[in-house]
Amino acid sequence: MTVGRRTPSRSAEPGHLYGVGVGPGDPSLVTVAAAGLIGSADVVAYHRAAHKDSVALSIARDYLSDNVTHEALVYPVTTGSTDHPGGYHALLAEFYDDCAGRLAAHLSAGRSVVVLAEGDPLFFGSFMYVHDLLKPRFPVEVVPGVTSMAAATAAVGTGLCRHEDTLTVLPGTLPVRELADRLSATDAAVVMKLGRTFPNVLEAVRQAGLLDRAWYVERASSEHQRVRPILHVDPATVPYMSLVVVTGRDLRADAAGRAMTPTVSETPDPQPATAGAGTVHVLGLGPGPDDWVTPEAERILAQVRHVVGYRPYVERVAPREGLTRHFSGNTVEVDRGVAALDLARAGHDVAVVSGGDPGVFAMASAVLEAQETAASDDPSYAQVDVRVHPGVTAAHAAAARAGAPLGGDHALISLSDRLKPWEVIERRLRALAHADLTIAIYNPRSASRPDQLGRAREVLLEATDEDRIVVVGRHIGREQESVTVTTLGDFDPETVDMGCLVIVGSSSTVVSSSGAVWTPRSQS
């Protein structure tokens, strides 16, 4: 059986709008569907800068009919500044309104309109904006095209993603710190929109420690294509039509969900692990601002090769060259500890980070538990040096904002019943109330535990009186910080969430004339 060559069969219909992807540069990458529509359209429209020809038009030129009407949609500004009173985005909004009006005139007259898009129309494409404006009024169809990302990956010639690698596509216009954070949090990445942003992108890749896996690709698939390691690029020569490809690390899933450490063959290690086991440092970053991170913690974070922890805490550690940040979920503390111990057994120094103090409802006990459990099967785990470093606790930060409610004898308790039965929590609350201690309550209320704080209030009222002072510290040390002082009788648990810490005073806790809450050091 002989299969003949397929010829373009799609024809543009009157009064229809088509967003047609023409690929990244090589005219032979134009799809069969795109070629048929381009060749049969009454009107072909394309965006371009005032001082440049349309790249999309140059790709599609051989597919155009001789009598097609050209509609050039010329940007009022690209990389320059504007004196428009609404700024750049307002000026572009007006431009797209004008584009839609011009195309609508053709459509209303019964003409078929093809809007050419380099790459894919809906992937960082200008067609999206006229699409949104015209779709409610006219039939619209989008014909996908080969993206510049796909062409650039092919040009690099190395697999972009394998197995459980995740891919992130990022605009190079992001701030350096945010771009570095996002690069550190993914396995593979493509950074678009280069040109004048290239120096910032290069710095972000450096901070994320990915220079060895980052490739620069310029005008992918065209006759002017260039491919080279990112460090071999002159920033002054980088055009907008270029991108950076960060290839994946081929991390395979395991029984715990993800492999934490790449093999030597997958990720070259510019600073080899030391002989023998490394050290696991368990650090507290404090409950809020960077000012509350201790100098000791900062010094350790500047030296270790790996940081392990729950994503919001790891994201507080600035990426840098030579540092790998390992993110994990919020309920896998022991697994996280094992991962850190495994890195240390391989000879790496590791920081396991927590908010607040790592020894208060945080990672220190989880790491030590992981070590004890693992050592029962493999004695080498017991040889890993685990060091716990203190941090500012959430309880004492909230207390400081209120005054000194923990100035006398006090206790800390968590209302989370994930690791202990609620009956145990109730029994301990009663004992603390009968002992007349000030109580700092962690994990007071969450979406999955909406009623427990109300029950805790009832338990305390059974053993104390409703005049006990209550302090609610919300987002302490952050922009949204607030401190509320009330009494146990007036306290409304519905106003509390996981961003809060609640302090219930003892019988001697008072509110001074200045509004400060404090508990005397001498308690009867």
273-287 confidence digits (pLDDT tens): 445 789 999 999 999
Tell me the C-alpha distance between 342 and 303, whole Å: 18
- What mean pLDDT is predicted for residues 13-31? 95
pLDDT tens digits, one per residue of 39-93: 999 999 999 988 888 999 999 999 999 999 999 999 998 766 677 887 878 898 9
Q: For residues 406 and 381, state if they share a domain.
A: no
CA 260 to mean position of chain CA atoms: 18
Q: For residues 342 and 434, state if they share a domain.
A: no
Distances (CA, A) of 48 to 53, 68, 149, 175: 6, 18, 21, 27
pLDDT tens digits, one per residue of 122-161: 998 899 999 999 999 999 999 999 999 999 999 999 888 8
Say if 114 falls within a structural domain: yes
Q: State how many domains the chain has.
A: 4
Structure tokens, 128: 């999206």
266, pLDDT greater than 50: no
139: CATH:
3.40.1010.10
Give strand ranges (E) for 265-323: 279-284, 306-310
Strand partners, 328: 310
Q: For residues 240 and 338, state if they share a domain.
A: no
Q: For residues 95 and 68, state if they share a domain.
A: yes
What is the signed CA dihedral for 115, 116, 119, 120, rounded to 10 degrees?
20
Nearby residues of 106 by Cβ (< 8 Å), 6 or more positions away = 42, 43, 69, 71, 113
pLDDT tens digits, one per residue of 105-131: 999 999 999 999 999 999 988 999 999
408, pLDDT greater than 50: yes
- What mean pLDDT is predicted for residues 18-42? 95
- What mean pLDDT is predicted for residues 315-340? 83
Helix axes 422-434, 452-463, angle to 10 degrees: 30
Q: For residues 140 and 155, state if they share a domain.
A: no
Nearby residues of 12 by Cβ (< 8 Å), 6 or more positions away = 18, 37, 40, 41, 42, 112, 113, 114
- What mean pLDDT is predicted for residues 441-469? 92
**Contact indicator for 24, 50 with CB cutoff of 8 Å:** no
Domain boundary among 145, 167, 197: 145
Q: For residues 123 and 214, state if they share a domain.
A: no
Nearby residues of 93 by Cβ (< 8 Å), 6 or more positions away = 86
In terms of residue numbers, what domain contains 446?
A: 395-518
Q: Calculate the average pLDDT of the chain.
A: 89
Q: For residues 336 and 403, state if they share a domain.
A: no
Say if 270 falls within a structural domain: no
Diameter over CA atoms, the chain: 100
Q: For residues 42 and 129, state if they share a domain.
A: yes
- What mean pLDDT is predicted for residues 199-227? 90
Say if 205 falls within a structural domain: yes
256, pLDDT greater than 80: no
Nearby residues of 269 by Cβ (< 8 Å), 6 or more positions away = none
Say if 10 falls within a structural domain: no
Say if 11 falls within a structural domain: no
User: Helix, strand, or coil here: 131?
Assistant: helix
The dihedral sign for the CA sequence 102, 129, 172, 91: positive
Count of CA atoms in the C-beta half-sphere (13 A) of 116? 32
Q: For residues 329 and 217, state if they share a domain.
A: no
Cβ neighbours around 357 below 10 Å, total: 23
Q: For residues 124 and 156, state if they share a domain.
A: no
Say if 442 falls within a structural domain: yes
Tell me the C-alpha distance between 94 and 88, whole Å: 10
For the whole prediction, is pTM greater than 0.85?
A: no
Domain boundary among 145, 180, 211: 145
The length of the chain is 524
Say if 266 falls within a structural domain: no
DSSP state of 376: H
Domain boundary among 221, 246, 271: 246
162: CATH:
3.30.950.10
Q: For residues 342 and 284, state if they share a domain.
A: yes
213 or 264: which leads in pLDDT = 213
Q: For residues 104 and 153, state if they share a domain.
A: no
Cβ neighbours around 444 below 10 Å, total: 22
Say if 408 falls within a structural domain: yes
- Name the helix (H) or strand (E) containing 472: strand 469-474
Adjacency order of strands within the sheet including 279-284: 324-328, 306-310, 350-354, 279-284, 385-388
